[in-house]
Chains A and B, each alone.
Chain A
Amino acid sequence: MRIKFKLDGEVVEVDAKHTDTLLKILKDKLGVGAVHFGCGEGTCGACIVLVNGRPRYSCLTLAGYVDGKEVTTVAGLAHDGELSEIQKAFLENDAAQCGYCTPGMILIAKALLDRNPSPSDEEIFDALAGNLCRCTGYVPIINAIKSLSKKR
């Protein structure tokens, strides 16, 4: 089948099998680097993207689902070479070390802050529960999110 969707603002068209996941299409067919394959079962969060603004594990989303929708990766948050507020906050708080979890972490942070501009610690822990980081110990990531919550 042929699917057509907006990827970070640009319309793309691609052939997909009905059983292909969005992650497979993004990585293998479109060569997207801003999405990572981790566990393939919705545990690690490295593959998270926003579909029409809501976070989804792309490894658990079938390609057909995004037909006619808007997909945003972490690369789509930057504009004209300028990082978004959330990306800057991650940089300033040393919230990335190896960087493998970072795309998913930033997108979950965005989804959380879009919905809830000043989340409590409890709400941040709850939101991040589906994103694993094996480097930072999470504290810098939580600090990055809190720094934004204070600004608003």
Chain B
Amino acid sequence: MSQVTSGYYAPASLRDAISLKKRLRERALIVAGGTAAVQLISKMIAEPEVIISLEKVPLDYVKVQGNVVEIGATTPISRLLEKKDLPNALREAAENIHGLALKDMATVGGNIFTPAPAGDIATALLSLDATLMLRGTRGVRAVPFSKFYRGPLEYNIKADEVLTAIRIRRAPGLSSFLKQTPLRYSGPTIASASVGLDLDKDKKARRVMVAIGGLTTHPYRVKRVERFLTGKRLTSELIEEAAKQLVDDNVDVIEDALASSWYRRVIAQVLFKKILNNFIR
């Protein structure tokens, strides 16, 4: 691979993929499933000199070992669903990505990089306190997913790094993902919410992870609401109170032809309340 100039590369190993990425940096576009990356090309947003396709890199796997779930970055949604013992929020997010071709093509890792209205899987993974495994020429870096997004399309990833896997350690006992789309079986996500929750013996919230998707370019954790709920016994009044502070006034919520930012805020709250009320029912 010494004379890389332009073309289509499908390295067979992770090592080759990383050394290509290190050499080519911004000149190359990494393609996993293609559902988002290929659109960048066909809509003339990107003009990569080189394509690095991850199709042959063996990152298509789901491993469950003890209390750790590890998902390879190029695992398609349909493969994810073959696994029976996934955390509930992740399963719900995956099941509600509709269409057989999309389920077969779209990958878990790709979903993390793709801006709204994509990002259902990412939203679920945030609420499961997942960790991203980034491998570069100098080794592996484990980055908490909650510290991965730095801004719209800006990620905590170095030029020579490739996302190889997503790890969920000690998945919360309760977790759930809900989204609103214009049609029952298809259409972009207008808003989504995902919550991971551990209760202690007295039914008080011991660990709470709240993630909101669809409102901004990338999903995010709502630490303020997590702190508000931690240590408290969940009641419908408390849930109502928490929902009021769910979307901060400072958040610049997407407004487009599909939904106003006001509507997205309201829907996020409705979904959040639904999830928590289902937990305590």
**Chain A residues within CB distance 8 Å of chain B:** 1, 18-19, 21, 40-42, 45, 48, 54-57, 59-65, 67, 108, 111-112, 125-131
Contacts and interface: CB of A to CB of B under 8 A. Distances in A.
Interface of B: 6-8, 10, 31, 34-35, 38-39, 41-43, 47-48, 50-51, 53, 55, 98-102, 104-105, 184-186
Nearest to A40: B42
A112 to B, nearest CB: 6
Nearest to B100: A127
B102 A18 contact: no
Contacts of A56: 101, 104-105
B98 A129 contact: yes
A55 B100 contact: yes
Contacts of B104: 54-56, 111
Contacts of A60: 34-35, 38-39, 105
B101 A62 contact: no
Given A21-B38, A61-B34, A65-B34, 16 more contacts: A18-B7, A18-B48, A41-B39, A55-B104, A57-B35, A57-B102, A59-B42, A60-B35, A62-B51, A63-B8, A64-B10, A108-B101, A126-B185, A130-B98, A130-B100, A131-B99
Given A112-B100, A126-B98, A64 B105 contact: no
B27 to A, nearest CB: 12
A42 B106 CA distance: 11
A61 to B, nearest CB: 6
Contacts of A1: 7-8
B99 A128 contact: yes
Nearest to B47: A19
A54 B34 CA distance: 15
